[in-house]
């Protein structure tokens, strides 16, 4: 008798559950489910892609969960240039990252869709694939990876001021994006499109933004010593602190702008502001990421490759010309406690702990050297131009 009662209870529960499920599924207010497997008739045959780089550049690290494929890069390229990412469909990544400016917008600070100005200058998109996760992307390193970085601007109220939910819905309804996501990532139906996949595609595309190795500096490095005139050579010697035998001072540039990409990706207070205490910096920079008080006023030392194309300079675009930048460094900073270690000893030593700074000729030679870093083959690379 007890068993029979138990059985009936079980059956009753099962029937009630089934009825409830049908009622929930038939709620007329719910959106119609997207067709399952609607992309499966589109071929998914990813072809791996090897990034082209100068032979003397290190291998580019590729995350295991986002391998480079031709279709991934092509999707990322469209997303980078497509204003579909912004709330009013007027602004794409390329609005602030234009090829002519080595993928900057050549403005002191950028302006978003609501005409609100940001407080920092758009960074050049070049050789970012080499940045270590420990350091991260942006002026303050707040995004650990290129995938993380790609997620940021869409929802930033002073940039694209959109939501990823909205953007992903637009992708799902788009005539071509579902197929492109299928080809790039092998999804079976459009409901599988996510912001993470979009970010992966953009990151794949941005990873191919690598120097061509054909700048005048690269030609000189390759052994063509006639590529440089005397001024450019003097500039190089000072840049790399190699000028002692030629009566040239140390300009100390390479300590922060070293390596083949001419940035170590690290963060420095480069002596822009004379502050009484570190709390007085208008923009606290790296501190906002690490919480370390000594990181206040520190910003990433950007790559100097293509630096002549990326004016204005510094995180807030305060300097219009490279000459102004050299004037600044020649002053040997303000002695603020967290200024970069080599900022206060530019020039020849005076013997009393101070340094001479640079003469007009030395500054001119350094500017001429910096101009040899211009890489027009990179900015005109057809693979990274607007596909629309």
Partner 1 sequence: MKKYTIFFALISFAFLSSCGEHGAEDLGVNFDITFRATFDGAQLEKNKDYQFGSVPMFVEACRMYLSDITLLQGNREIVLSEIEYLNFTPSNAVFATPTITFKNVPEGEYTGIRLGYGVKPSLNAKRPADFSAGHPLSIENDYWAGWSSYIFTTLDGKADSDNNGSKDLSLAYHCGSNPVYKTFEFAHTIHVHAGEPGARISFDMKEFLTLADGTLYNLLIHPATSNSAADVTVAQTLTANFGRATTVEQ
By CB under 8 A, name the binding residues for partner 1: 55-62, 130, 132, 134-136, 141, 240-242, 244, 254-255, 258-261, 264-267, 286, 289-290, 292-294, 335, 337-345, 353
Whose Cβ is closer to partner 1: residue 171's or residue 299's?
299
Tell me phi and psi for residue 362, to 5 degrees: -65, -40
CB of residue 324 vs partner 1: minimum separation in angstroms?
A: 23
Whether the Cβ atoms of residue 231 and residue 72 lie closer than 8 Å to each other: no
Whose Cβ is closer to partner 1: residue 7's or residue 244's?
244
CB of residue 344 vs partner 1: minimum separation in angstroms?
A: 5
CB of residue 264 vs partner 1: minimum separation in angstroms?
A: 4
Q: Would the CA dihedral through 52, 54, 57, 58 be positive or negative?
A: positive
Whose Cβ is closer to partner 1: residue 81's or residue 228's?
228
Measure the CA–CA gap between 141 and 143, rounded to whole angstroms: 6
Whose Cβ is closer to partner 1: residue 277's or residue 386's?
277
Whose Cβ is closer to partner 1: residue 63's or residue 83's?
63
Whose Cβ is closer to partner 1: residue 54's or residue 118's?
54
Whether the Cβ atoms of residue 207 and residue 51 lie closer than 8 Å to each other: yes
Residues ≥6 apart with Cβ < 8 Å to 261: 57, 127, 130, 211, 303, 305
Whose Cβ is closer to partner 1: residue 74's or residue 215's?
215
Measure the CA–CA gap between 251 and 248, rounded to whole angstroms: 9
CB of residue 142 vs partner 1: minimum separation in angstroms?
A: 11
Measure the CA–CA gap between 242 and 227, rounded to whole angstroms: 18
Measure the CA–CA gap between 220 and 21, rounded to whole angstroms: 73
CB of residue 228 vs partner 1: minimum separation in angstroms?
A: 14
CB of residue 100 vs partner 1: minimum separation in angstroms?
A: 27
Measured in residues, the chain has a length of 388
Q: Please give the structure tokens belonging to residue 374.
A: 């211009």
Q: What is the bridge-based pairing of β-strands 299-300 and 267-268? A: antiparallel
CB of residue 285 vs partner 1: minimum separation in angstroms?
A: 12
């Amino acid at each position: 008798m007890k068993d029979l009662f138990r059985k009936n209870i079980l059956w009753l529960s099962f029937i009630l559950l089934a009825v409830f499920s049908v009622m929930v599924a038939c709620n007329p207010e719910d959106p119609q489910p997207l067709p399952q497997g609607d992309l499966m008739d589109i071929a998914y045959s990813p072809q791996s892609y090897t990034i082209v780089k100068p032979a003397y550049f290190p291998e580019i690290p590729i995350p295991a969960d986002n391998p480079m494929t031709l279709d991934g890069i092509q999707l990322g390229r469209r997303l980078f240039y497509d204003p579909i990412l912004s709330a009013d469909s007027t602004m794409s990544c390329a609005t602030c990252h234009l090829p002519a400016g080595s993928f900057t917008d050549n403005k002191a600070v950028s302006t978003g869709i609501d005409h609100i100005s940001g407080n920092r200058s758009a960074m050049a998109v070049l050789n970012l694939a080499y940045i270590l996760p420990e350091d991260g992307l942006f002026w303050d390193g707040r995004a650990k990876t290129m995938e993380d970085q790609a997620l940021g601007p869409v929802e930033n109220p002073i940039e694209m001021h959109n939501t990823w939910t909205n953007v992903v819905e637009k992708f799902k309804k788009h005539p071509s994006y579902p197929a492109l996501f299928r080809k790039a990532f092998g999804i079976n139906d459009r409901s599988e499109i996510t912001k993470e996949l979009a970010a992966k595609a953009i990151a794949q595309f941005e990873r191919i933004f690598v120097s061509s190795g054909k700048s005048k500096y690269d030609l000189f490095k390759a052994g063509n010593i006639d590529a440089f005139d005397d001024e450019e050579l003097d500039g190089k010697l000072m840049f790399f602190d190699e000028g002692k035998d030629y009566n040239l001072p140390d300009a100390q540039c390479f300590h922060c702008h070293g390596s083949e990409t001419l940035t170590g990706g690290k963060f420095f207070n480069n002596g822009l502001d004379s502050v009484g205490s570190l709390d007085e910096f208008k923009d606290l920079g790296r501190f906002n990421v690490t919480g370390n008080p000594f990181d206040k006023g520190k910003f990433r030392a950007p790559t100097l490759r293509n630096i002549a194309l990326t004016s204005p300079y510094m995180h807030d675009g305060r300097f219009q010309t490279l000459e102004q930048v050299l004037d600044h460094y020649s002053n040997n900073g303000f002695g603020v406690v967290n200024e970069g270690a080599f900022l206060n000893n530019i020039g020849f030593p005076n013997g009393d702990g101070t340094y001479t700074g640079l003469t007009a000729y030395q500054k001119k030679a350094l500017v001429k050297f910096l101009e040899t870093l211009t890489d027009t083959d990179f900015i005109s690379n057809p693979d990274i131009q607007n596909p629309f």
